[in-house]
Each structure stands twice: as structure tokens, then as C-alpha cells.
Amino acid sequence: MSKSWFITGTDTSVGKTIASCALLQALSAKRHRVSGYKPVASGCDLMPEGWRNSDALSLQANSSFSLTYGEVNPVAFKEPTSPHIAAVMENRQIDIQQLSDGLDRLSQKSDVVIIEGAGGWYTPLNERECLSDWVIKEKLNVILVVGIKLGCINHALLTQRVLMSENIHLSGWIANSIEARNTHYNAYIDTLKSRLNAPLIGEIPYLSGKQKSAPLAQYIYLNQLV
């Protein structure tokens, strides 16, 4: 059975995908057999192969061995909105057992599975369940991606408090700089270091355009991951 980490964020669009890809690259460089997993994705583009989500394609490309798109992303919706809304729009239901089955299949062929969430911690899947319920069911350890901007300290501390209340282990956090210029970057990082009860395992600088396809492993501190 492989080791799995669930990648959540302080909000949507804070860099979960680039952080997940950085982790995949860093683990691959250590000769681990690693796979990326995006159990639920909203927002797809029509390609010759069918509807595809760009985040899932990035995880597929950065896995250390060949995976089909369906293995990486078993549940995909066209509309870029919360999964429970997208599911209603397509007259579909999300069954968390399908997410577990997909994880089991990847775990059987991987040393490590990096699982990218959708949105923040409490992303609804249906009328009853959130993606966090699935994480709890699977007893997954969590890595938190903090998008460094005004408000990130509050968002990070609120997420940590929720994880603690639900007995979820926070293995580490990754700082992702999402602004080209941030005068208070160092102050934010120092505050988060002192208040988050988990090690900083990566700092990703602001990357734009083609920079995002550059090697990312250099920004991850695997020796800090617990």
C-alpha cells in the first residue's frame, strides 16, 4: 500500500496544482514511483480525446509513470464551479466510493499518491457530503497550500483549526507566491511559521506563463515532510 497525501488549499486558485506537481517532481527525483490523483475536477475543455481538466492533465504529465486520464481524474465536470453544482447541472451524482476505488487502484501501483483536492477544505460533493468527508474516511494526511496574499494568515489558521478539530494530521505546508510583488511576503512567512503546527516544506516563488512549466522540485524540502 502506498503513502498518500491530500493537498488542500486556503482557498481556490491558491496553487494546489503547481504545488502538487512540485511534490510529484521532487518525489520522482528521489526515484519514488509516484502518481497524481485529482478525484473530482470541475471545469473541462473539449479535446480530441474528450473533456479534459487542465489541473488533472498536469498531474498526469508529472506522474513518474504512464497513467490514463481516467485513472488520474475519475470524476470530471464541464462547468468550472463547485462540484455539487456542476453535478446537478449534468444530472449526475458524486459517489465517494468511486473516489476511493480510484485511489485504491493508484495505490496498488505507486509508492506515493499525491491527491489534489478541489477548492478549499469544505468543498461540497452533494447535499450531504464534502470532499473533506472523503479525506476523513480514507484517513489521509494533509498538506496545506497557502496562497501568499493579504488574508492568507487568517485562512491558514482557520484551516489548521478545522483540521485539528477533525483529527486530521497536517504533515506540512507549502507557501505559493501568487502575487508578482508582495511587500510583506517575509512577514507573512514568519507569522505562518510561528503559528502553524507543521513544517514549511516548500516555497514556490511567483511564476508566470512559461515559468510554470519549468522544473519545480527545487522549491520543495522533502526532508521536512512528516
Question: How high is the pLDDT of residue 1?
Answer: 44
The predicted pLDDT at position 225 comes to 85
Region of 170 on the Ramachandran plot (φ > 0 left; ψ -120 to 50 alpha; else beta): beta
Query: Annotated binding residue at 29?
Result: no
CB 101 within 8 A of CB 61: no
Each residue's pLDDT tens digit in the chain (226 positions)?
469 999 999 999 999 999 999 999 999 999 999 999 999 999 999 999 899 999 999 999 999 999 999 999 999 999 999 999 999 999 999 999 999 999 999 999 999 999 999 999 999 999 999 999 999 999 999 999 999 999 999 999 999 999 999 999 999 999 999 998 899 999 999 999 999 999 999 999 999 876 767 899 999 999 998 6
Give the list of residues 6+ apart from residue 37 with CB closer than 8 angstroms, or none. Answer: 59, 72, 73, 102, 103, 106, 113, 114, 115, 116
DSSP string, 37-79: E-SEEE--EEETTEEE-HHHHHHHHHSSS---HHHH-SEEESS
Q: Is 38 a catalytic residue?
A: yes
Q: Is the dihedral of CA 174, 180, 182, 186 positive or negative?
A: positive
Domains of the chain with CATH codes: 3-224 (3.40.50.300)
Whether residue 157 is annotated as binding a ligand: the answer is: no
Catalytic site residue from 3, 30, 38, 139 = 38
- The answer to whether 126 is a known ligand-binding residue is no
pTM of the prediction? 0.95
pLDDT of residue 210: 66
**Cα torsion through 129, 118, 98, 94, rounded to 10:** 50
- Is 119 assigned a ligand-binding role in the annotation? yes
| Residue 177 annotated in ligand binding | yes
